[in-house]
Amino acid sequence: MLYLQLLIDGVVSGCAIGIVSISFSYFYATTGIFHVAHAGIYTLSGYLAWWMVGLGTPFAAALALAILAAVVVGYLTQRLLYRPLEESGATPLVLMIASIGLLTVLQNVVAILFSPNIVQFDLPWRLSHTAIGPIALSLPQAILGVLSLLLFAGLVLFSHHTAAGKRIRAVASNRELAEITRLDPKRVFAQVLAISSGIVAVPGVLVGVDQALQPYTSLLVLLTAVVAMIAGGIGSLTGAFGMSIVLAVIQSLSVAVMPGRWSVAAVFGTFILFILLRPEGLIRSRFSRAI
């Protein structure tokens, strides 16, 4: 029964990582920018919601406002940082170093404005459990799981069945062609980063409710998500989401055979095996971005 519980816990945290993974992947596959600062937006939205709940805002409103704030920050990041850099002919390395700079800024702004210590949401319902047979599921876990699946399905539908989603995929697959057919890649990039940032705010807040908030841990979440993205095949949202769940389950189950503190090593060990054996990912990507 312990294994079943670990499995379920793994699936739920895999859903959260999966959302981080698809939102990162969505921007990365479109622009090729390694947006490390995504982790900073994750942290920022969690703390914003925590701060608003502390002021007495109802949780749903706090979540919505945190998402809105993330959308704004994401949009501004593209407009004020990545776009000027790309216009000045910066290499991917320079873009990524700038992104690391932004991550550092966001994390420390959070640490200074709110708290450098671990904080927990002051919500009585976060500890209530529902038992399904022998498995215990906390309320935040249940909300997280359901919202993650909805977001995943929503993003896939948006990407394939709406005009805006198709425009984004067109820009992703051929930027030059998009430029001459007046799809305006620069505007599309800002939209994509706004969407991605809004999506990543959801696990940013809900994982914080379920566990706790800490300014500097989000990078590990992002890296696990990126590992899942690469293993799932870049550009494949389903691959990224599925691999996130697989990775999180491995991480969760590994607690049964070795001390939990070594689980980081387990994830990255799995990853290194993966790149050695199957560099193109589990599901071969249709995107031919050089990686």
Partner 1 sequence: MNYFLSFVILAEIFSILAVSTNLLMGIIGIFSVAQAAIMGVGAYTTAILMMAGTPFPLAMLAAVAVCAAINVLSSLPALRLAGDYFIITSFGTQLVATAVFINWQDLTGGASGLSGIPVVEIAGAGFPTAREFIVLSSLCLILVAAGFWLLMRSPYGRLLHAIRENEVAVVAAGRRVLRAKVGVSAVSGACAGIAGALYATYISFIDPMSFDIHVSVLVVTMLVVGGARTLAGSIIGPFLLMAIAQLLAVVDIPSTIVGPARQLIYGVILIAFMLWRPQGIAGKRL
Contact footprint for partner 1 (CB under 8 A) = 34, 81, 84-85, 88, 90-98, 100-105, 107-109, 111-112, 116, 215, 219-220, 223, 226-227, 230, 259, 261-262, 264-265, 268, 271-272, 275-276, 279, 290-291
Q: Which is nearer to partner 1, 91 or 288 (CB)?
A: 91
Q: Which is nearer to partner 1, 127 or 276 (CB)?
A: 276
- Shortest spacing between CB 179 and partner 1, in angstroms: 23
Q: Which is nearer to partner 1, 114 or 206 (CB)?
A: 114
Q: Which is nearer to partner 1, 32 or 165 (CB)?
A: 32
- Shortest spacing between CB 271 and partner 1, in angstroms: 7
- Shortest spacing between CB 186 and partner 1, in angstroms: 17
- Shortest spacing between CB 265 and partner 1, in angstroms: 5
Q: Which is nearer to partner 1, 54 or 269 (CB)?
A: 269
- Shortest spacing between CB 267 and partner 1, in angstroms: 9
What b/e sequence results for 199-225 when a residue is b if at least 16 CB atoms lie within 10 Å of its CB, and e otherwise? bbbbbbbbbbbbbebbbebbbebbbbb
- Shortest spacing between CB 94 and partner 1, in angstroms: 5
Asked if 196 and 78 count as a contact pair (C-beta separation under 8 A), the reply is no
Q: Which is nearer to partner 1, 28 or 202 (CB)?
A: 28
| Cβ neighbours for 89, distance < 8 A, ≥ 6 positions apart | none
